[in-house]
Amino acid sequence: MVTLAEVARRANVTGATVSNVLRNPQKVKPETVERVMAAIRELGYRPNLTARALARGRTSTLALLLSNIANPFYPEFVLAAEREARKRGYFLLVCNTDDDPAITRAYLEQIAGSLASGVIVMNTDLGEGELAGIASKGVAVVLCMWEHVQASRALPCVTTDFAAAGALAAAHLSGLGHRKFGVIFGGGSGGPQTIRLDGFAAALAAHGHSEKSLFIVRAHDSIESGYEAAAGLLRAKPAMTSIFATNDLMAIGAMQAAADLGKRVPDDLSVMGLTDIALAHQFRPALTTVRLPTADIAARSVALALEMVEGGTPAQDVYVVRAPELVVRESTAPAPSRQR
Give the containing element (helix H, strand E) for 180: none
Of 86 and 237, the one with the shorter C-beta distance to a second copy is: 86
Of 34 and 260, the one with the shorter C-beta distance to a second copy is: 260
Q: Is 4 among the residues that bind DNA (CB under 7 A)?
A: yes
Stretch that binds DNA, among 21-29, 73-81, 208-216, 298-306 (CB under 7 A): 21-29
* Shortest Å, Cβ 4 to a second copy: 12
User: Which listed residue (46, 218, 235, 237) binds a second copy by CB under 8 A?
Assistant: 46
Say if residue 324 is preceded by a cis peptide, omega within 30 of 0. Answer: no
Stretch that binds a second copy, among 28-36, 67-75, 197-205, 326-334 (CB under 8 A): 67-75
Of 47 and 191, the one with the shorter C-beta distance to DNA is: 47
User: Which listed residue (38, 41, 42, 54) binds DNA by CB under 7 A?
Assistant: 54
Assess contact for 142 and 157: CB atoms under 8 A. Answer: yes
- Tell me the per-residue interface mask from 210 to 249 with a second copy, x by CB under 8 A, - otherwise: -------------x--------------------------
Residue 75 touches which of DNA, a second copy, none (Cβ within 5-8 Å per kind): a second copy
The C-alpha atoms of residue 5 and residue 14 are separated, in whole angstroms, by: 7
* Shortest Å, Cβ 118 to DNA: 17
Please list, residue by residue across 25-34, b when 16 or more beta carbons sit within 10 angstroms of its beta carbon and e when fewer do.
Answer: eeebeeebbe
The C-alpha atoms of residue 242 and residue 335 are separated, in whole angstroms, by: 8
Say if residue 192 is preceded by a cis peptide, omega within 30 of 0. Answer: no
How distant is the alpha carbon of residue 130 from its chain centre? 21
* Shortest Å, Cβ 7 to DNA: 7
Helices (H), the chain: 4-11, 15-23, 30-43, 49-56, 73-87, 101-111, 128-135, 162-175, 194-206, 223-236, 248-260, 278-282, 294-309
Count Cβ atoms within 10 A of the Cβ of residue 317 and give its class: 0-12 exposed, 13-18 middle, 19 or more buried.
middle
Q: Is 44 among the residues that bind DNA (CB under 7 A)?
A: no
Q: Is 51 among the residues that bind a second copy (CB under 8 A)?
A: yes
Handedness of CA 311, 316, 317, 323 (dihedral sign): negative
Residue 14 touches which of DNA, a second copy, none (Cβ within 5-8 Å per kind): DNA
Of 36 and 219, the one with the shorter C-beta distance to DNA is: 36
> Is residue 240 classed as helix, strand or coil in its secondary structure?
coil
Residue 331 touches which of a second copy, DNA, none (Cβ within 5-8 Å per kind): none
Residue 113 touches which of a second copy, DNA, none (Cβ within 5-8 Å per kind): a second copy
* Shortest Å, Cβ 25 to a second copy: 19
Interface ranges with DNA (CB under 7 A): 1, 3-5, 12-17, 19-20, 22-23, 27-29, 31-32, 45, 47-48, 51-52, 54-57
